[in-house]
Structure 1
């Protein structure tokens, strides 16, 4: 039996419960169907097979979840940071114990390759451990001196929060949002993406098995137009943390405006990787290939624009094309697979549409550019793709495709490279390859992006801020920046002298 056949057999065991029982909502510690009784289907992008029927929550389900989160808030917020730390560490332990189940389920639900998803659970556990250890200090503030006065600041959890997570790497991104919310003392209503709802169900189970009190974490499945809208408008929900596309973020901001809801958005990107002639070109090529073709290109931080100094452009792009052409496309549970199927036929159609757009705009197809058939029939498989001969006015250089599609653009000078890099509506990340340290400082200072890596692919360090500028988002995750969102800051001023008080009317 091949490795793929063995993995498929293991996946069948993990998925059997979902096929049998469906995916239920979980509100106030109780699992059940949507109030309406309605369901929707989640299918594997690998072959189109039905994985489960999912409860389609609506406004009444969201209302129950919000009220459950509100009822649980006071006691959870009052729990000491040390006690919250213990529970969050137990959640991390539970994630590690079920790491294989999480990885195999995520592969079949999203199409992501096992070589990447095998680490998703461990990264999720790491998120919980990081914020578990920060829970005891979440309320810490500052002592600020003034003449005749001492100011003491403290932080308090904002209240019940809504977390709306995306369909790409949903397990890890859910932990990235929910762990700091719980560490801060907030309660949560989680609405996962409808395209990939399975691991959200595993995660809330793990949390309650670890001792998280009922009602602290509530799960409602559904669509943005009903469950999502109800969550963003609900008066008991004090903040919305959202990961997804920029247009949806704009809609959420409008929907939450009547309740003056705080929002944190991690949105889209059209990120440049800028390669200068003096760079370590082999490492730069490997990094460029990794950051666009790993995770099927379905990542907000992907380096989807390859900006290369003109003197090395042709040779460097040929090197990238050679690497891209050798990438293995296959079933997500095949250990050798790098690129699996795209998440859904709707998204596949969007990605494929850009191939015609690129040709019409005059770009040259160097690698890929087609849907894969034959052994891939029935799934949403798209070949790793590279376009050359592009310029910044083309749609493939301006719009987020969110697939394994790279656009190469030459530049002559540092100034031109910076102008091209900044000439998009997004500003999430940027990647710079040069051995000139002064240029690296100069260029990164001018680059309009929330996160920049110099001579590196995306290597995350949890205490650092994560987020973008322009249409790529609002706010920052990571370290204490997460607590700035999930907590309110209070200042208390103590007079240390009997200062003069103005006398009015006496």
Structure 2
């Protein structure tokens, strides 16, 4: 691969040098601090796996310091009005937009994501803050539920300090997606980003501090899952944990939080189907199929990594996918022409590469890609497996790279059985021009989200989340407040009901409503 030096590269060199010199520290109680024990680790850029920066490595002592800071700050942050929180969160959004180019470049350097996609990372992050900022004044709102003799009303109150654990794919945007509603609800936060991509989490903390978010309201602790992550999920002052990542890790977090009865919200893995019927607009379906697996390096939980194609069009449609895959530009993530950059880490690179041999062993055909690109870095070609069946590991396991498995189906019943025959259930995509089939199939698909005749197009008020091994709970709109807030019912007697008398020496009639648990 040849590199064309662009203004992106000049600015990236300056940002990289600044990051290297400053190092990456924790942000606890409004201060930038090193780990109490002095431990550090190195983070690398996936373009050539050279050292990007030295990072403070947190442990239980650092998490305890952050949790106590979040607990102390919660006592005042919870009393800040929704109107004032709205102003502060809009200020965060303003500063994100002002530093959009810096965010995009650092995200590309740190994760290997192509700059063409990371240009929208800041815009989406700012949009997340604005969306929840505007809902902050009404976050506590409830309902009026009158009953005979009573006026019942509900309200919502912030649950307390929460842990937010974010992944290494598009980390900036996903951090804003979790932190913004927590702050809008009145919660305080301890954020533990993935150790493979710590850079933009630090930038987000800088921005929130500059925006005027009080010290201790948002705390940032870097480190590994088995140390900092485990300590966060077990800490008694942390009332809930929001996690985005791999399914097995989610089950560990649930066990770790059990003793303290933590509320959890999980957005986990996926092996999402895109189902293409022969009556679909095949040109549009092709665009969507290619985009949803090869954009963002295939490192996205909602990627359509299984394409189920009606058998009459299978050969033609897979041939068209293969042609597009072979033309996808793999290379330097800072080059505006690049469509796939390097995978985030050598360990993940080796995992994705291992599925190429596995596909051959299982009897599938590699119709495109299936190889390393270049000699340096973690570059993998856009790959298509054909001749696959749904019982193969390449059809069942989350590869989380630019790798698509194509499976034929006979009819609607066969397509639905194949689509649902995985342990995951995050998203599904359906292409058909049969209106009744579209509704019927979408309702029967075991997935938390379904798009019909579209790729993943997010509407922020709608619920986001999965079923089965893909997660617990929903993000988005008011659904986020259901997680970060407790709903309280208050019953006011109007003085007209009669309370049953005990100890008066005669039988009493007790209404069934008075013996609820």
TM class, shorter-length = over 0.9
What's the offset of the Cα at 1:3?
5.9
Q: Is the contact made by 2:185 and 2:484 (CA closer than 8 Å) also made in structure 1?
A: yes
Give the alignment's TM-score, normalised by structure 2: 0.96
Give the SS at the match of 2:460.
coil
- Alignment correspondent of 1:327: 328
- Alignment correspondent of 1:372: 373
Distance in 2 (alpha carbons) for counterparts of 1:430 and 1:4: 40
What's the offset of the Cα at 1:24?
0.3
Alignment of structure 1 residues 53-132 onto 2, 5 Å: 53-132=54-133
Q: What per-residue deviation string (whole Å, max 9, x for no partner) do you get for residues 191-239 of structure 1? A: 0000000000000110010010000000000000000000000000000
Alignment of structure 1 residues 87-486 onto 2, 5 Å: 87-373=88-374, 377-486=375-484
Q: Is the contact made by 2:306 and 2:404 (CA closer than 8 Å) also made in structure 1?
A: yes
Give the SS at the match of 1:218.
strand
Give the SS at the match of 1:485.
helix
Q: What per-residue deviation string (whole Å, max 9, x for no partner) do you get for residues 95-152 of structure 1? A: 0000000000000000000000010001000000000000000000000121121110
Distance in 2 (alpha carbons) for counterparts of 1:462 and 1:119: 15
Distance in 2 (alpha carbons) for counterparts of 1:439 and 1:464: 23
What's the offset of the Cα at 1:48?
1.3
Across the aligned residues of Structure 1 and Structure 2, the Cα RMSD in angstroms comes to 1.0
Q: Is the contact made by 2:149 and 2:493 (CA closer than 8 Å) also made in structure 1?
A: yes
Q: What per-residue deviation string (whole Å, max 9, x for no partner) do you get for residues 329-362 of structure 1? A: 0100000000000000000000011111110000
Q: Is the contact made by 1:278 and 1:435 (CA closer than 8 Å) also made in structure 2?
A: yes
Q: Is the contact made by 2:74 and 2:161 (CA closer than 8 Å) also made in structure 1?
A: yes
Distance in 2 (alpha carbons) for counterparts of 1:423 and 1:117: 34
What's the offset of the Cα at 1:256?
0.3
Q: Is the contact made by 2:128 and 2:176 (CA closer than 8 Å) also made in structure 1?
A: yes
Q: Is the contact made by 2:150 and 2:492 (CA closer than 8 Å) also made in structure 1?
A: yes
Give the SS at the match of 1:258.
coil
User: Runs in 1 of length 4+ with deviation above 2 angstroms?
Assistant: 2-6
What's the offset of the Cα at 1:9?
1.1
Q: Is the contact made by 1:3 and 1:335 (CA closer than 8 Å) also made in structure 2?
A: no
What's the offset of the Cα at 1:378?
1.9
Distance in 2 (alpha carbons) for counterparts of 1:3 and 1:388: 35
Distance in 1 (alpha carbons) for counterparts of 2:22 and 2:7: 24
Distance in 2 (alpha carbons) for counterparts of 1:359 and 1:49: 32
What's the offset of the Cα at 1:365?
0.7
What's the offset of the Cα at 1:5?
3.4
Q: Is the contact made by 2:371 and 2:381 (CA closer than 8 Å) also made in structure 1?
A: yes
What's the offset of the Cα at 1:17?
2.0
Q: What per-residue deviation string (whole Å, max 9, x for no partner) do you get for residues 260-309 of structure 1? A: 00000000000000000000000000100000000000000000000000
Give the SS at the match of 1:15.
helix
Distance in 2 (alpha carbons) for counterparts of 1:59 and 1:178: 22
Q: Is the contact made by 2:246 and 2:268 (CA closer than 8 Å) also made in structure 1?
A: yes
What's the offset of the Cα at 1:6?
2.4
Distance in 2 (alpha carbons) for counterparts of 1:450 and 1:4: 43
Give the alignment's TM-score, normalised by structure 1: 0.99
Q: Is the contact made by 1:4 and 1:333 (CA closer than 8 Å) also made in structure 2?
A: no
Distance in 2 (alpha carbons) for counterparts of 1:126 and 1:14: 24
Is 1:30 the counterpart of 2:31? The answer is yes
Q: Is the contact made by 1:150 and 1:494 (CA closer than 8 Å) also made in structure 2?
A: yes
Distance in 1 (alpha carbons) for counterparts of 2:443 and 2:90: 38
The worse-fitting range, judged by mean Cα deviation, of 9-18 and 359-368 is: 9-18
Q: Is the contact made by 2:330 and 2:373 (CA closer than 8 Å) also made in structure 1?
A: no
Residues 140 and 3 of structure 1: is their aligned pair in 2 closer, same or farther, counting only changes over 3 Å? farther
Distance in 1 (alpha carbons) for counterparts of 2:235 and 2:5: 45
Give the SS at the match of 2:259.
helix
Q: Can you give the 5+ residue segments of structure 1 that lack an aligned partner in the other structure?
A: none
Give the SS at the match of 1:166.
coil
Distance in 1 (alpha carbons) for counterparts of 2:16 and 2:184: 31
Distance in 1 (alpha carbons) for counterparts of 2:251 and 2:49: 32
- Alignment correspondent of 2:507: none
Give the SS at the match of 2:194.
coil
Distance in 2 (alpha carbons) for counterparts of 1:128 and 1:460: 15
Give the SS at the match of 2:73.
helix
Q: Is the contact made by 2:305 and 2:405 (CA closer than 8 Å) also made in structure 1?
A: yes
Q: Can you give the 5+ residue segments of structure 2 that lack an aligned partner in the other structure?
A: 505-517
- Alignment correspondent of 2:508: none
Give the SS at the match of 1:370.
coil
Distance in 2 (alpha carbons) for counterparts of 1:59 and 1:215: 17
